[in-house]
Amino acid sequence: MDCIFCKIIKGEIPSYTIYEDDIVKVFLDVNPVSNGHTLIVPKKHFTDIKDMDLETLTHIQKTVKELFPQYKEKLSCDGITLCQNNEYGQEVKHYHLHIIPRYENDNLKISTDLDKKDPKEIYEKLK
Ligand code: AMP
């Protein structure tokens, strides 16, 4: 399979890997939206959240919890935002969780021109 993250995991493509264990590889995003933007990537190829197993998902969340203090300490960030794209908006079709360090007043936004619908209408659909 021609997957760029599988190649990074195998070491065929270089990466700035900051952490690695049997289940995940954690490396810097090549096109960061903030300083320290990092990706947590399972070593096994999953396309997105739909085919992920709970054990791997839990391990990824555990990894975030363990790494969080060092982002604060070493990058002096004020927080982190986690996000993970599925299908639309997902450029690389190998599951990855973005860790985006946040800095006070960084003004980072996902959507700036939201066509805001009535929350009741959304609630009726999702409940
Ligand atoms: P997504 O849109 O959620 O699929 O995000 C894919 C991310 O992978 C983007 O933020 C890219 O900048 C990042 N990316 C693509 N190729 C590489 C690479 N070779 N090394 C590190 N990050 C990459």
3-state SS string over 40-102? EEECCCCCCHHHCCHHHHHHHHHHHHHHHHHHHHHHCCCEEEEECCCCCCCCCCCCCEEEEEE
* pLDDT for the residue numbered 114: 80
Dist. CA 77 → ligand 1 center (Å): 21
CA of 29 relative to ligand 1 center, distance in Å: 6
Q: Please state the separation of Cα 110 from the chain's center in Å.
A: 14
Q: Tell me, what DSSP letter sits at residue 120?
A: H
Tens of each residue's pLDDT in the chain, 127 residues: 799 999 999 999 999 999 999 999 999 999 999 999 999 999 999 999 999 999 999 999 999 999 999 999 999 999 999 999 999 999 999 999 999 999 999 988 877 788 888 989 989 988 9
Residue nearest to atom 17 of ligand 1 (CA): 30
Q: What is the pTM of this model?
A: 0.94
- 91, 94, 99, 108: residue to mutate for ligand 1 pocket, most atoms within 8 A of CB: 91
